[in-house]
Amino acid sequence: MTIGHTVRSPRLGIGVTFTFRSTEDAALVRDCVLGRISGARMPALQWDDAPTPGSPNVAVHVKDNGSNLSIGYTGAVTTPEYLTTREGLHWDFGKVFTTLALPQLCRIPAVALHAAVLGHGRDEAVLLPGSSGAGKSAISIAALGLGKEVLASELAFVGGARIIAGNSQLTIDPRALDAFEFTIPGGARSLNGRVVIDLPECSLHHIVRVAFPKVTFSGLRVREITSRRARMLLFENAVSQLGMSQLVAQETHPLGCPPVAEELEIMAQQVVRLSGSECVIVEGRPEEIAAFVTSGEA
């Protein structure tokens, strides 16, 4: 007999049912997933003790080996069984969740982007898409220091050129704070060696500017780009953000269920809407970028 549990995002209205061989297995995975730093990359998640009818279903096979875990997935997503640490299980679990939730996300319709989102006046926002290391978290910290609203620092769910939801917590390496001489904001705490700041649940802000950031120690540089170039960069970001793409790129274990043509088309439509905004590439120190993108002035 299997036990079904649903992991869902109340903000997005999406959920995925995972089945386990026992309540002990379910508790083991839940304890390894909830409260971990990777959860900060998603909107607040809720773990329900009952399956959701009609949601994707994947069986989780887990075995506690003492020093590590043996984990594998079968069903809507299938992987070989492989070894991982207790601290590492949550990363792949989150990627399985986002892979299975993609069809539901497309029905909203919305696209997930590896991006920060900063408030830009009343009910308006600026989107900062960027790969890991671009400086999204540092810019977000700088924005808080300027009294600006941070709607997302890592992952943004966008539909119709509006932000629907962002990641639940801003996290940053303390060394980055030291490098840019930032003061740790009030209300911050430490988790897994990183500084963590809770982010408010965002409202539907319209995205009026798209800025592709690159944090440097040099002066501010801004370059306008065409909507065609912005579309290419945004779609590349959206595809690389897919859980399946991340697992393949990181050489963990490839997932099944790649996006179908209709889902890619919906993602492309959302990207086209965003590329109609003012689009720039901006380089400089975090505080310079934060000040420019939220006000339009250096």
Q: Give the model confidence (pLDDT) of 199-237 as tens digits.
A: 988 778 999 999 999 999 999 999 999 999 999 999 999
Average pLDDT, the chain: 88
Domain 111-295, classified CATH 3.90.1280, yes or no = no
Residue 126 backbone phi and psi in degrees, to 5: -115, 135
Contact 58, 77 (CB under 8 A): yes
State yes or no: pLDDT of 49 exceeds 80: yes
State yes or no: pLDDT of 121 exceeds 80: no
Q: Note the maximum CA span of the chain.
A: 62
**CA separation (Å) from 47 to 5, 101, 289?**
7, 15, 37
Q: How far apart are CA 187 and CA 196, in angstroms?
A: 9
* Domain ranges for the chain: 3-107, 111-295
Q: How far apart are CA 83 and CA 117, in angstroms?
A: 36
Q: Give the model confidence (pLDDT) of 159-196 as tens digits.
A: 999 999 999 889 898 888 898 888 877 788 887 788 88
- The reported pTM is 0.90
- How is residue 27 written in tokens? 């508790």
